[in-house]
Chains A and B, each alone.
Chain A
Amino acid sequence: MVPPLRRRIARPRWVALATLTVLLLSGGVAYAYVSAAGSGSGNATTGTMQTVTLSALVGGDAPSSQLRPGGPAADVILRLENPNPFTVQVVSVDGYGTIAADGAHSGCTTTGVTFIAPTNPNITVPAGSSLVALTGAATMSTASLSACQGATFSIPVVLTVHR
């Protein structure tokens, strides 16, 4: 026969064992999980490239060198408008059409100006408006009329740009 005192002690021992077991089981569960695989898809779209254009010169736009009949080649400046959100590279600048003097020099019918297309210009044009100088890209022959003195010449060009 178990004395009353031993019975009172025996029950808490079981409780303690049961509690310990539950804690161990709970600890084990925390490291187990159900894993799953899966798939899906999404999209991404490339942008397009807007045309880079030339615009009128603005105040202060001036070449660093000037033409004179029979003189050395002078700079040609271009104001470029790059509407893209990224820089582009000018890989070629070719002349086309007739070079003409500004309206204030209507007598300059023979300009004698020749455009010299730069080879491998590789000019970086940032987004927005920028001024580009083509060094030594124009010459003036002695055929230029005296009415061309002080004139600014419009030189049509076509650009090829790369991104």
Chain B
Amino acid sequence: MSFKKKLVSVLVVIGVIGAASAAFAFWTGGGSGSGSAAATTPTAVTVNQTGSITGLYPGAPATALSGNFDNPNSGAVHIANVTAAVRAFSLPAVANGKPACTAADFTIGGTATVNAQVPAGNGVGSWSGLTVALNNGVANQDNCKGVSITIDYTANAS
């Protein structure tokens, strides 16, 4: 082998070794940070009473109440149950010598367990199981004749 050929071979070997060395050299780096995700706070649903309740009279069998929901959220929400109460009132406005008709003359009975996911939208889902009755009181209830009462409903999340 001539000197020239030997020199070329040495350069080639050096070149190969250099390349191999470069293959094991790199920079490393780490990092840290955080992302975020927010859980939604659902907007309150509206409890609707469906059906018209009329003709209540003292001692009549309790009349069933039922309804559905307006869910303004973008997704379904879970409702555990619905409760109800007769809104306070007293009639007549001017005393007429007879006992006033008040919320105490009425009874809300039963339970309305929902325990279900209510989808987004209006008039969705359903509830039932509550009743309303006009008590058969011992006192005069003439002031309860033809009275329209308001029943307030509450949807409970748990």
Residues of A within 8 A of B (CB): 33-49, 84-86, 163
Contact = CB atoms under 8 A, between A and B. Distances in A.
Would you list the 8 A-B pairs with minimal beta carbon distance, nearest first? A42-B49, A40-B47, A38-B45, A44-B53, A35-B157, A36-B77, A38-B155, A36-B42
B154 A37 contact: yes
Nearest to B49: A42
A34 B75 CA distance: 9
The secondary structure that dominates the B interface is strand
Contacts of A36: 42-45, 71, 73, 77-79, 155, 157
A46 B45 contact: no
A49 B54 CA distance: 13
A44 B148 contact: yes
Nearest to B45: A38
Interface string B35-64: 000011011111111001111111110010
A39 B145 contact: no
B89 to A, nearest CB: 12
A35 B67 CA distance: 19
Interface of B: 39-40, 42-49, 52-60, 63, 65, 67, 69, 71, 73, 75-80, 87, 106, 117, 132, 134, 144-158
Contacts of A37: 44-45, 154-157
Contact of B147 (A33, A41, A45, A163): A45
Nearest to B71: A36
A93 B27 CA distance: 110
Contacts of B134: 46
Contacts of B154: 37-39
A43 B57 contact: no
A39 B52 CA distance: 19
B56 A46 contact: yes
Contacts of B67: 40, 42
21 contacts: A34-B77, A35-B77, A36-B77, A36-B157, A38-B154, A39-B154, A39-B155, A41-B49, A41-B152, A42-B65, A44-B56, A44-B106, A44-B148, A44-B151, A45-B53, A46-B55, A46-B56, A46-B146, A47-B57, A47-B145, A49-B145
